[in-house]
Amino acid sequence: MAERRFDPTRLPGFATVAVAVFVLLYLPIATLVAYSFNGGDSVAVWGGFSLDWYGRAWANETVKAAALRSVVIAACASALATTLATLAAVGVVRNRRMKGRAVVYMAINQPLMVPEIVTAVALLIFFASVRQFTGYQGLGYLIAAHAAFCVPFAYLPISARLEGMDATLEAAAADLYATPRQAFRHVTLPLLTPGIIAGAMLAFVISLDDVVITEFVKSAGQDTLPTYMLAQMRRGVSPEVNAISTMLLMVTVVLLTAFFIINKQTNRGKQ
């Protein structure tokens, strides 16, 4: 054959580009992590390895308060979103002929489709009125806003788990005179737990990382770590922000690795 065949596994140019892409993906993050260990005061020159910036970030009361606030909001919002997503998934997934199923599905996934900046200003407007009306100034607004955009992320692994589950087990429980509540408590819920944990972890990470909606919903003195970092970036790079980023990065990587391990075991359990 005169012409060479197109072999999908052997495209030399493709492999080169792909490897370059992987390098380009990780180089900036690696640089950021490296700079967070920079001992010098200058942001340009390498002044030797040091944990100085971590110490300064740790000693900074504003940073500590922001970190605590981030965790509190993420914990509350992910707990709320996961609980409500679980209920919704249990209600919707098994009832294939449910009237208005598409509407529920659209509503749950709506936060994924609307640009964050639009939701952010919408919440700014809405909560401004609620603030004026009720006088309440607490973290409730941020928790409600975070919980809402976390719902689709919590819903996804839970509904996937439910769809993969054997519906006959619940039928067997019913045959053995379990009430729907008992069947849920003793059969469905234990089987669903890995999905719920995975959903809660995703929701937690999503909440922890949020910038835009938090930036618009928070009132004065309610900075989370990401909005604190965003404000710092207005003054250009700072090694302190690099140190905070690195710590936040670690949390994300640990949670995601745990998520993948749980998911893998869950899938293995299915086979």
Partner 1 sequence: MSAGQGQANRTSWSLAAPALALLLIGSIGPLLIVLVYSFMTPGDYSGVQRPFTTQAWEQVFLTRDIFDDTLGWADAHMTIFWRSVKLSVLTAVITFLLGLPTAWFIATRPPDRRALWLFLITIPFWTNLLIRTIAINEIIRNEGLLNQVLLKLGVIGAPLQILYTDTAVLIGMAYVYLPMMVLPMYAAIDRFDTRLLEAAYDLFANRWQALWHVVLPVIRPGILAGSILVFVPSLGAYVTPRVLGGGKNMMIGNFIELQFGQGQNWPLGAALAVLLLIAVGLALTVYVRVLGGAGRADG
Name which of residues 234 to 263 contact partner 1 (CB under 8 A). 236-237, 241-242, 245, 248-249, 252-253, 256, 260
Contact status: 21 vs partner 1 (CB under 8 A): yes
| Amino acid of residue 144 | A
Residue with tokens 């770590």: 225
Contact status: 231 vs partner 1 (CB under 8 A): no
Least CB distance from residue 177 to partner 1, whole Å? 19
Nearer to partner 1, 68 or 117 (CB): 117
User: How many CB atoms are located within 10 Å of the residue 30 CB?
Assistant: 11
- Closest among 156, 130, 159 to 144, alpha carbons compared: 130
Helical residues (DSSP H) of the chain, grouped into ranges: 12-36, 52-59, 61-93, 101-113, 116-134, 140-164, 167-175, 180-183, 189-209, 212-217, 225-233, 239-270
Q: How far apart are the first and last CA of the chain?
A: 45
SS3 call for 263? helix
Contact status: 98 vs partner 1 (CB under 8 A): yes
Residues 57-96 that bind partner 1 (CB under 8 A): 80-81, 84-85, 87-88, 90-92, 95
Least CB distance from residue 62 to partner 1, whole Å? 17
Total of residues contacting partner 1 (CB under 8 A): 90
Please select the residue that binds partner 1; options are 63, 108, 165, 183, rule is CB under 8 A: 108
Please select the residue that binds partner 1; options are 6, 102, 135, 175, rule is CB under 8 A: 6
From the list 57-65, 67-75, 171-179, 202-210, the region that binds partner 1 by CB under 8 A is 202-210
Nearer to partner 1, 60 or 238 (CB): 238
DSSP annotation of 184 reads I
Contact status: 268 vs partner 1 (CB under 8 A): no
Query: CA 44, CA 137: separation in Å to the nearest integer?
Result: 42
Contact status: 111 vs partner 1 (CB under 8 A): yes
Least CB distance from residue 117 to partner 1, whole Å? 4
User: How many CB atoms are located within 10 Å of the residue 244 CB?
Assistant: 25
Please select the residue that binds partner 1; options are 4, 181, 235, 268, rule is CB under 8 A: 4
**Cross-strand pairs, 38:** 49
